[in-house]
Structures are given as structure tokens and as C-alpha cells.
Chain A
Amino acid sequence: MIFLKYRFLLFPLFALAMALCVDRFFAIPAIQRELILWKKIEPPLYESRKELQKQLLQKLPVHRRSGKTPALILGSSRSARFPGDVIDERLKNSVTYNFSAPLAPPSFYYYWLDQLQSRNVPLRFVLIEADSMLFTNKAIEYSLSYSYDTGFVLRNTIFFHDSRSPWKRGEGGFSTDEMGTFLLKRLFVTYRYPFSLDTIHDNHKSLTLLDAKKGVITRPALELHDAMIDQIQEINEKKLGGIPEVFTTRIDASDLPRDALLTFENMQLKNFRSSPAQIYFFKTIVENLATRQIPVIVYAPVLSRELRSLMAMEPEIVKFQKSVADFIDEAKRKHPESLVLYENFNESSRLQCREFEDSFHLSSVCFQKLTDLILNDLQAEENKKDTIRFSPDGRD
């Protein structure tokens, strides 16, 4: 065998094997803890959704016995504020699980929907987000690193090039590049948890904080990170998902215009290009739920006036928003017996509360009213469908 005769031919493979061994070192939990910047909550949040799913499956028999059906909220940090307990109190027959995660795109929603449907979990309703920010190529970064499984990605990858508009195509999925990136991140730990001396240094800094009870305190940064993980676990157990409020940052209203500009530039809204993969997953979710007659609420997060003005100047965003609205109208026409709601309060006077934590996060104080409006619409539509179904002329 030539490799025995010329052993140097094996050296590149040996170098690769050595790199993989070094990489495995970074998979040790104690080492990984050093590599995630203490204030970076996205990895634990995304990873906590597995625990949330486990919790849902464990509690499913209990929910069944009490006549409650799980409802899903699948969105980004903007949907994390929906008060599940208020929804369940109002609807009576639901128990709401909030799988929202920061900058989570439609592929992430579809992953969890797929996971639950494959285990025959019945669903009361599903709320998903439709916002241009989540349909960019950037939006998939977190979920590729900290979510999905290999089987899901491979099953939902499109291997051939299709130049048609993604709104018109039937087939779709992750691109081969996205699949390749996912697999690389699974193979190399350092791709998901990059080695950075700056991060390690920052994680060992002592931080000065203001505690409500104890006053000014000093804590190591990593300890705070551990406390954040505890809070995520707590909110999963007690509130069935969502994102702890303590993780939010609030800016002054006077800073909204500047924040809007930064958001517009940093979130790929400027020179916007929608991802065909995310459009496919969005369409698939709506079609899937409409076909199974599970109520689907498509929620367009309320954005600040300043950010909306900037987005209105971007022709591709305007085109995208129209495509979403057109698609939902078409879904309603195609599935008249199903419930497909499009809730966009950005230009509506129905939602008076317009307080913002930043240019793209509506304040939690507005979510009570927002939730009421959405539930009013949901119940009105459900009553309408029931009236049609059980009309006096005997139509069924």
C-alpha cells in the first residue's frame, strides 16, 4: 500500500486528526464555559429549548387529563414577551409554551413544530413571527450554531439550484452552504464556541452591580453567566419558556432614532435580501398548519416609527412585506375552513400603546393590550368558523 511506502502521504491526514483532537478539548463543559462571553445569552437560550420540549412531552398526559391543549409561540425575542398565563387564562383550554429565541428565523420555528408534530402533540394554535429582520441570511446564524439536529438539516436541504422566486417555488429548504456550515459547526466545536483570548479575559473580570437588596456588589462575570442560566431554567419551568425580563436592555426614547439607524444597518435591513430558505420554511409552516386546521397567527412585531421609516425606504423590504401579506391572503383563500390570522399593528390605531425598549422591541407594558387584541381576533374568527360550521341550514 502506497501509504506504507510513502508515509509522508499520511501527514496531512495526521495533521487534520491532530486538529480534531485539539478541537475535542474545547468540548469539555468547563472549557466551553470559558469560551462563551458571559453576557452572551443566546447559546443557553437556544439550547434550553430542548429542555422545554422535554418538559412539554413529560407534561402532555397531565395537560390532556385537564382538557388543555398546548399552544406554541415561535418567534424571536419580540414574541418572548407574550404572557402565556394570560393567554391560557383567557382561552381556558390551552397551555402556552413559548419557544421564542433571539433572532430566531422561520427555520427554527419549523424545527420545533416538526419535532412536536412528529410526536403527535396536538396544538391549540401556533403563533409565528413574520418580520424582514428574520428573513435575512444573518438571522440563521444562531440557530445553525445552537439548534437543529443533523437529520432535520439533511432532510430539509435543497441540493439543486432553483432560480425561480421563492414565493412561487414548491420545493425549498436550507441551501447546501447552510447545510455545510451546520455540519462544520457540528464537527468542529471551535466553530460554535470560538477560541478568543479577549472572551476568556472578559469572563474573568469582576463586575460591579447594583442589587435591589444588597446595594452595590461585585461579582465575577462567569458567576453572573451561571445566574443567567439559572434564570432561563426557572422561566422554562415556571412560565413555560420565553426570555427572562432581566435580560432586556432599555434605552431612552431620545435614543430611538440613533438605535433605529444602527439596527437598520447591523441587521442587514439596509440593502435587504431575503433568504429563499426562510421564505420556504415560513410558507411550509403556514401550509402545514392550515392543512391540519390548526389556527395559525402570523404576527408582525411592532417596530418603532423611526425604524419603520427607514425600512419604508428600502424597496426590497416593502416588496417582501407585500409578499408576506399576499401569501397569507392566498393561504386563507386556499384553506377557507382553516384559521389563518395576520396580525400587523404597525400602522393600526387599534394598539395605542407605543412604548419601546429599543427600536425593534415593544415594551412588555404593551403586551397585555397586544395579547388581548390578538386573542379577540382569534376568538372572533373561531366563533365565525363555528357559526359557519354549525349554521341553521344544516351545513357542516
Chain B
Amino acid sequence: MRFTTLPFFIFFIIAYVAYWNIKGRNRLWLLFVSSLLFYAAWSIGFTLHFILIITINYFLGRRLHEKKSKPILIASLLLNFSNLFLFKYFYLFLQALHDLTKNPLLLAENFNAILNKTTGLDSIVLPLAISFYTFQITAFLIDEYRGQIKNKTSFLEFAVFILFFPQLVAGPIMRHEEFLPKLHKIRADEGHISAGLFFLLLGLIKKVVIADNMIAPTTDVYLHPENYNGLSNAFATLGYAVRLYNDFSGYTDIARGIGLLLGLPLPLNFKGPYLALSIKDFWRRWHITLSSWLRDYIYIPLGGNRTTKLRSYINLVITFTLGGMWHGAAYTFVAWGFYTGVTLVAEQSLHSLFGRLAQNNKGVIAETLFAHKAQWIWKIIGNALLYTWTLGLFLIGLSFFNGINLQNALTMVQRIFTMARGIANPLNEFIFYQFLITILFNLLEVRGKRIFHENRFLTWGSLCLFTVVTMLLLGRYASGGGDFIYFQF
């Protein structure tokens, strides 16, 4: 069920009214049942598969809680990542084997023909939310192993934690401490309800009004970059950046809004990433829950930065390459992850280098660059350069992230850097204006703490007006819509 459809709208209203009219443990049962229904609307078969995964992991988690056992931890990680590998990475694995051996049997269509003959299935279908729930379950099990979860978790609590429908399909990826304790402290809070409605409406605007209308301006450029000039290729990456941010942060806003309406605040996932002045800062603002997961469960166990500089750089590249693979089973995602890791390493190296230079030439720098009157100019120039560096590198990465294959992605990058000739996309200007609106949303994320007035009438009056405006905007700009981008992960 997509959030932007009428069936979900009706489903949520019923769930909301029922939820606040029951108390205690029954509320958890309602969340459990409604989340199962939400998933079952996509596939009943895979719902059964999901329940099996949850049940097995619950019992493994129980064992880990009772006894810190490495074999059980390894078994649980193997189970979950095998499940993920089979459904998500099998075809990539097959493709890699085919590319190495050139054996035609390893082509996906031939494999599928055999699969169809033997089982009747046309292909291996990717279960909805598998990437998200695998990471969430894994984090829980590792935290149990590390002894970080003090209280025993009941099956119902664990199931609700994994299945919770607002965040199930595209995050935020939750940690146990961000959710489980709240299940016993659900209170009707006016601030939560008003904030919840606000985020729900904002998310709808971001997704339906902005993101969905960015599909047409960029699709053909990504499919046929060789036809378009360098500037249009560059604008296509900017357009995709607008679409990706509004789609994903829009989903997160809707998820957080629904969570707040149910008295269960979800963690922040975006914090104005398009305002970042360094790549390191960017990844602290973009998909925050994934970045922190990768840091805590891959980067730090690999040694993090508590090792030699070279080793820490290697750890960073490995972490981001795996992060890229998490997004999708294609060479382009691997390339994107690797590229992102390399840009981070490059930035850190440059930072060290300039840091040393600055240290050695402090006096000169202070006199020439930071003389009183000129200081603000240098700050603006400096920030502009840093912003261009950060956004520019991210946009180049998006040639891979959304590229249909490596060849297309490289063609895009080449055409951008050589300012190649070709067709000019007539929607470049439109893309730019959408980007400006996106910057406003980013500013709202960073500076919008005091959205709500102390005057209750003013707050609710504004929200009623916002609801009407949202309805008019959705009616005007709804394009028929597409799936949320992160649903495919």
C-alpha cells in the first residue's frame, strides 16, 4: 500500500481511531495486525515468509540475550544475509559469474526459464522492505550479543519493532533504544499530534508535488545521455537529486508524521543535506540512520579510524561500497558506493593537507585572507567553493546511482566534464527552480524548530489551512505518481 493512495488513507484513519480508543497491550496487537495487513496488501506469500523470518530471529535474539554466543550470532547473521542474498543479490551474482565465464546458462533469462519449468515461478521476486528489515534485525541481534539490550523483549514487541508499518518499507532504520522503550510510554501528546499532521502533509507535498514531477524532466537524459549536451546531463543529475531528496525525505516525513500521530516518534533521517559544506557533513545529514548503521556495524568493527591512516581509508571505502550495494543489486550501485567512499577519503586527505598548510602559514593567512574587512568575503567565497565541491561530487555520483548501466553512467560523466554538444533539455530551467524549492525544504529541516506557536488556536488554525493548501496542491500537481524510489531497495 503506497502512502499516497486512497486505500492507505482509509486504512490509516481506521487504524488511528481504533488505536487511540484501546489501551495497553491491545494497542501493540493492533499495531501488529495493521502492520501485517499493510504488508499483506503487497503479497500474502511474502507476509508468511516475513513472519517466519521474524519468528526465527526472535528466538535467536532470545538465546543471545540469555547467553553471549558467537556461534549463534554468526548463525543469525548467515541466516539473514543469506535471505537477503537469495532474494536481492542472486541475479547480480549470476551476472558476475556470466561476465567471468561467458556461460549462457548463467544469463538471467535462461535461469528464469529453468526456474519456471521446475517451480512455475517466472523469476525470484524481491520482497518489499527486505534491505531495511534485514539491517534492522541485524542491528538488534548484534546489540543483544553486545549486551546492550537490558530488558527482555517479548515476541509482540519485537514483531512490532520490525513490522511497524510507517517505517517498514523505506525506513528510518531504527535501533532498539529508539523504539522499544517508547512502546510502553505511548501518551496522547498535543505537540506530537500537531507535529505529526504537519510532517504528514509536508511529506505528501514533497513526494507528490515535487518528486513525482521530476520523473519526466530527467528520465530520457539518463536513458540516452549521448543525445544531450553536457549542461543537460549536469542538470539531469541535479533534477535527480531533487527527485531523490523529495521522494525519500518526503517518505520519511510521512513515516515520521504517522509515527507521531500514533505517539511513537521515529528517528530523524534527513537534516538539510543539500546545505552541507563537506562530504563528511553531507553523510551526517543524508539517510542518517543508514550512515550510522554502517558506521556502527561495519566501519567500527573493521577498525574504524583507530588504526593507521591507510587502513582507516580502506575501511571507509569498504563501508561505503557495501553501503552502495545495499541500495541495489547492480554494478552501478557498487560503483556509486565505491566512488562515494573514495570522495570521502579524498576529502579527508585534502583536509589533512590543507590543515597542515594552514598551520604552517597561520600568520600569512591571518594577515592576507582574514583581515577584518575582507573576512566575510573570504568566508562567502570559501563556503561557495566548499558547497560546489560537496554538491558537485554528490551529483556526479548520481550518474551511477540512477544510471541504467555503467556505460551510460560513464557517458554522462564524460559529457558533463567535456561540456559535450547535443540536445538541450528544455526543462533545465524547471529543474533549477525545483532545486531552489528543495533548498527551502532543507532550510526548514535545519532551522524549522519553532514551527509551532504556543497559541493553540494559531497552531491548529495554521494546520487546517495547511491541510486545505496541501489538498489543492495535490489536486493541481499530482501526476498519477510513481513508487517511492527507496521501495526498490
Which residue of A is nearest B190, CB measured? Answer: A8
Contact of A195 with B472 in the complex, beta carbons under 8 Å: yes
The residue from B463, B472, B477 contacting A15, defined by CB atoms under 8 A apart: B463
Q: In A155-214, which residues have CB < 8 Å from any B CB? A: 160-161, 163-164, 176-177, 179-181, 183-184, 187-188, 190-196
Docked Cα-Cα span, A5 to B190, in Å, equals 12
Chain B: interface residue total (CB-CB under 8 A):
44
Q: Which residues of B contact A180 (CB under 8 A)?
A: 2, 5-8
User: How would residues 271 to 293 of chain A score, 1 for a CB under 8 Å from any chain B CB and 0 otherwise?
Assistant: 10000000000000000000000
Q: Which residues of B contact A190 (CB under 8 A)?
A: 471-472, 474-476
Asked, given contacts A1-B21, A12-B193, A13-B13, whether A271 binds B478 with beta carbons under 8 Å apart, the answer is: no
Shortest Cβ distance from residue B228 to the other chain A in the assembled complex, whole angstroms: 13
User: How would residues 1 to 33 of chain A score, 1 for a CB under 8 Å from any chain B CB and 0 otherwise?
Assistant: 111011011011111101100110000000000
Contact of B20 with A11 in the complex, beta carbons under 8 Å: no
Q: Is A270 engaged at the interface, CB distance under 8 Å to the other chain?
A: yes
Q: Is A137 engaged at the interface, CB distance under 8 Å to the other chain?
A: yes
Q: Is B405 engaged at the interface, CB distance under 8 Å to the other chain?
A: no
Chain A: interface residue total (CB-CB under 8 A):
43
Please name the 10 residue pairs, one residue from A and one from B, whose CB atoms are nearest each other, closest first: A190-B475, A180-B5, A194-B476, A15-B467, A6-B188, A8-B190, A183-B6, A194-B475, A19-B471, A184-B6
Contact of B467 with A18 in the complex, beta carbons under 8 Å: yes
Docked Cα-Cα span, A287 to B5, in Å, equals 32
Q: Which residues of A contact B20 (CB under 8 A)?
A: 2-3, 6, 9
Contact of A15 with B464 in the complex, beta carbons under 8 Å: yes
Q: Is A265 engaged at the interface, CB distance under 8 Å to the other chain?
A: yes
Q: Is A141 engaged at the interface, CB distance under 8 Å to the other chain?
A: yes
Contact of A141 with B21 in the complex, beta carbons under 8 Å: no
Q: Is B100 engaged at the interface, CB distance under 8 Å to the other chain?
A: no
Shortest Cβ distance from residue B226 to the other chain A in the assembled complex, whole angstroms: 15
Q: Which residues of B contact A194 (CB under 8 A)?
A: 472, 475-477
Contact of A270 with B5 in the complex, beta carbons under 8 Å: no
Show 9 residue pairs from A and B whose CB-CB distance is below 8 angstroms, ordered by the A residue. A1-B21, A3-B21, A15-B464, A15-B467, A18-B464, A22-B468, A161-B43, A188-B471, A271-B223
Contact of B464 with A188 in the complex, beta carbons under 8 Å: no
Q: Which residues of A contact B (CB under 8 A)?
A: 1-3, 5-6, 8-9, 11-16, 18-19, 22-23, 137-138, 141, 160-161, 163-164, 176-177, 179-181, 183-184, 187-188, 190-196, 265, 270-271
Q: Which residues of B contact A187 (CB under 8 A)?
A: 6
Contact of A271 with B219 in the complex, beta carbons under 8 Å: yes
Of the candidates B219, B261, B474, the one having the most CB atoms from chain A within 10 angstroms of its own CB is: B474
Q: Is B433 engaged at the interface, CB distance under 8 Å to the other chain?
A: no
Docked Cα-Cα span, A137 to B482, in Å, equals 11
Q: Which residues of B contact A161 (CB under 8 A)?
A: 42-43
Which residue of B is nearest A271, CB measured? Answer: B223
Shortest Cβ distance from residue A144 to the other chain B in the assembled complex, whole angstroms: 8
Contact of A163 with B125 in the complex, beta carbons under 8 Å: yes
Asked, given contacts A11-B463, A196-B476, whether A176 binds B194 with beta carbons under 8 Å apart, the answer is: no
Q: Which residues of A contact B2 (CB under 8 A)?
A: 177, 180
User: How would residues 176 to 200 of chain B score, 1 for a CB under 8 Å from any chain A CB and 0 otherwise?
Assistant: 0000000000001010011011000
| SS class, residues of chain B in contact with chain A | helix
Q: Which residues of A contact B261 (CB under 8 A)?
A: 12
Docked Cα-Cα span, A190 to B2, in Å, equals 20
Q: Which residues of B contact A1 (CB under 8 A)?
A: 21
Shortest Cβ distance from residue B347 to the other chain A in the assembled complex, whole angstroms: 36
Docked Cα-Cα span, A331 to B392, in Å, equals 56
Asked, given contacts A19-B471, A23-B471, A180-B5, whether A270 binds B21 with beta carbons under 8 Å apart, the answer is: no
Q: Is B122 engaged at the interface, CB distance under 8 Å to the other chain?
A: yes
The residue from A5, A16, A195, A270 contacting B475, defined by CB atoms under 8 A apart: A195
Contact of A184 with B123 in the complex, beta carbons under 8 Å: no
Q: Is B71 engaged at the interface, CB distance under 8 Å to the other chain?
A: no
Contact of A191 with B475 in the complex, beta carbons under 8 Å: yes
Shortest Cβ distance from residue B225 to the other chain A in the assembled complex, whole angstroms: 14
Shortest Cβ distance from residue B264 to the other chain A in the assembled complex, whole angstroms: 14
The residue from B220, B460, B470, B481 contacting A11, defined by CB atoms under 8 A apart: B460
Q: Is B448 engaged at the interface, CB distance under 8 Å to the other chain?
A: no
Q: Which residues of A contact B123 (CB under 8 A)?
A: 163
Contact of B475 with A188 in the complex, beta carbons under 8 Å: yes
Docked Cα-Cα span, A1 to B470, in Å, equals 30
Shortest Cβ distance from residue B148 to the other chain A in the assembled complex, whole angstroms: 34
Of the candidates B2, B194, B463, B468, the one having the most CB atoms from chain A within 10 angstroms of its own CB is: B468
Contact of A191 with B478 in the complex, beta carbons under 8 Å: yes
Q: Which residues of A contact B194 (CB under 8 A)?
A: 8, 11
